[in-house]
Amino acid sequence: GADGSYSATVSYGWAETFAPVKEGYEFTPSNKGFGPAKSNQVQNFSAAAIQLLITGSVGVPGVKMKGLPGDPVTGANGVYSAKVDYNWTGNITPEKEGYEFEPVEVPYANITADQTNQNFNANKLTYIVSGTASMAGVEMKGLPGNPYTDQNGFFSAQVDYGFTGTVTPTKEGYEFDPASFILANITGDRTNLNCTAEMIKLTISG
């Protein structure tokens, strides 16, 4: 009934094993052996909702798995784990600043068993830093790989999301204006790092 109570009429001397059953629940004890019946009896069970496990890997730590109960975060090994109710329906969306994930989202509908190896691929966002130093062979110190300008004076480098550093154009016998560029927490392409070169002039006197 609505209050969880049950009642049944059996014949004198009835003997049988009986068990409560409801989808999504488990009961303690799982069944009871009864009889032979010689008087009225009260036989109680306790019920608990079945919990299912969803586990997998994202490959990087600190990823919030939005949509799961409590929005768990991946550990140092990039693994996540969460318990959901039987027949759970929802969407899992991994989120971490500076990353994109494949797939972007995974839907679940009325699950009735553990879901393991629910894995995502993490791709770190990268951006292009480029510009010109007005001549070839200028080393752009501070960028990954310390690239040199090409024959047209152009340079380009790929940096990770959030890159911070000082880029200094360097070539023996030349000075540059500006002398350096300060990059802080890059979150998009930077294509305007342009500077001009001027030959250093020395004075010989006597």
Instruction: Give the pTM.
Output: 0.74
pLDDT computed for residue 170 by the predictor: 97
pLDDT, mean over the chain: 95
Task: Give the C-alpha separation, 86 to 63, whole Å.
Answer: 25
So what's the pLDDT on residue 76?
Answer: 95
Q: Per DSSP, what are the bridge partners of residue 83?
A: 53
pLDDT digit string (tens) for 86-122? 999 999 999 999 999 999 999 999 999 999 999 999 9
pLDDT digits (tens, 9 = 90+) for 141-189: 999 999 999 999 999 999 999 999 999 999 999 999 999 999 999 999 9
Is beta strand 88-95 parallel, antiparallel or unpaired with respect to 99-102?
unpaired
Nearest Cα residue to 5 out of 32, 41, 44, 47: 44
**pLDDT tens digits for 48-74?**
999 999 999 999 999 999 999 999 999
> Is the predicted pLDDT of residue 123 greater than 90, yes or no?
yes
pLDDT of residue 85: 94
CA distance 132 to 180: 13
Nearest to 181 by CA among 159, 198, 164: 164
For residue 187, what pLDDT is reported? 94
Task: Give the list of residues 6+ apart from residue 129 with CB closer than 8 angstroms, or none.
Answer: 143, 156, 157, 158, 159, 163, 167, 183, 186, 189, 190, 191, 193
pLDDT at 46 over 90: yes
Cα(203)–Cα(27) distance, rounded to whole angstroms?
Answer: 96
Q: What does the pLDDT read at residue 100?
A: 96
pLDDT at 35: 78
Contact 126, 158 (CB under 8 A): yes
Q: How far apart are CA 70 and CA 166, in angstroms?
A: 40
Residues 80 and 65: beta-carbon distance below 8 Å: yes
Amino acid 34: pLDDT: 83
pLDDT at site 54: 97
In whole angstroms, give the CA distance from residue 28 to residue 44.
Answer: 9
Matching residue, tokens 């600043």? 97
